[in-house]
Structure 1
Amino acid sequence: MEEQEQTDPTQDSHLEESKAESHFRVFDLAASAAFRSEGPTVRVLWESATARLLLLALQTGQQLRQHRTSYQALIQVISGHLLFSLEHERISMRAGTLLHLEPHVAHSVEALQDSIFLITLIGPSSESSGETAASAAPEPAVDAQRGTGGGDD
């Protein structure tokens, strides 16, 4: 009987830990990124009805051809050096650089060095739009996985 009483609090503690873990996630970006010689690597880390978090890895010389997204985008370089091109602007982005991009702006990306970057896509709330982050297929995720590196949404 005494052993059961000692076991029960441990089980309750374990359940509380499981509950607490469901309220957050920790991402090891360096461990999650993988380079491919065939083309850019895109990994969906997380998504909800209104947002999507993508991790991309491009080797030197790899590109995401010009494309658009219907979402606001925050692009953060984790490592490496990227050249981010808009219609009339070129932005050099190194580790620690964060860029905000409005929806529907045509842009392309080229890796000047092996680079890892994080894209946070923020869409309209699901209440104001019937579209979800998953159904809209924003950013170059689909095309980059195919190796084409871009396209218009």
Structure 2
Amino acid sequence: MQIDNLLENIEYGDKKPAIKIIVDNDFTKEIRIVFRKGQEMKEHKTSFPIVVEIVRGLIKFGIEGKPHNLKEGNIITLDPSILHDLIAQEDSIVRLTLHKSDQVSRVMNVIKE
């Protein structure tokens, strides 16, 4: 059993979004990504399906070049190999659910670029 809270101990990155692994078990990987207004994750794609939930804030979520404004409470699912990007329109918290076979290091590499 594990209990954690997406809204506690929030730490913002100075120049890039801050990533924290919340759950990494036999079933799933849950990641919290904290954005300051204007921070982004440049266009990228995954090899596995993902689920993205906007926990707090407003994110411009680009899907193959088409922007979608996602607000608190919105959930979006993406199939593998779909190009997407995220830009925080205000300070935001995002929950990313990865397939168990996906790698957290892949997500970390996206914010390093």
TM-score surpassing 0.5? yes
Bigger proportion of residues as helix: 1
The 8 Å contact of residues 33 and 57 in structure 1, kept in 2 or not, is answered as yes
SS in 2 for 1:30: coil
Of 102-111 and 43-52, more deviation after overlay is shown by 43-52
The 8 Å contact of residues 48 and 133 in structure 1, kept in 2 or not, is answered as no
The 8 Å contact of residues 39 and 88 in structure 2, kept in 1 or not, is answered as yes
Match of residue 52 from structure 1: 29
Letter aligned with residue 5 of structure 2: D
Cα distance change of structure 1 residues 95 and 76 upon mapping to structure 2, 3 Å threshold: same
SS in 2 for 1:141: helix
Structure 1 unaligned spans of 5+ = 1-23, 124-131, 149-153
Bigger proportion of residues as strand: 2
Structure 2 unaligned spans of 5+ = none
The 8 Å contact of residues 18 and 33 in structure 2, kept in 1 or not, is answered as yes
Alignment: residue pair count: 113
Among 62, 73, 77, the alignment partner of 1:100 is 77
Normalising by structure 1, we get a TM-score of 0.66
| 1:143 Cα deviation from its structure 2 partner | 3.1
| 1:104 Cα deviation from its structure 2 partner | 1.1
Aligned-residue Cα RMSD (Å) equals: 1.8
Among 46, 49, 58, the alignment partner of 1:81 is 58
Match of residue 141 from structure 1: 108
| 1:72 Cα deviation from its structure 2 partner | 0.9
CA offsets 1:1-39 (integer angstroms, 9 cap, x no match):
xxxxxxxxxxxxxxxxxxxxxxx2221111143112221
Of 27-36 and 100-109, more deviation after overlay is shown by 27-36
- Structure exhibiting the larger radius of gyration computed from Cα positions: 1
Among 93, 97, 113, the alignment partner of 2:90 is 113
Match of residue 18 from structure 2: 41
SS in 2 for 1:29: coil
Query: Which structure is richer in relative contact order (CA contacts within 8 A, separation 6 or more)?
Result: 2
Q: Where in structure 1 do 4 or more consecutive aligned residues deviate above 6 Å? A: none
Q: Distance in 1 between matches of 2:35 and 2:23?
A: 20
Letter aligned with residue 69 of structure 1: T
| 1:54 Cα deviation from its structure 2 partner | 0.7
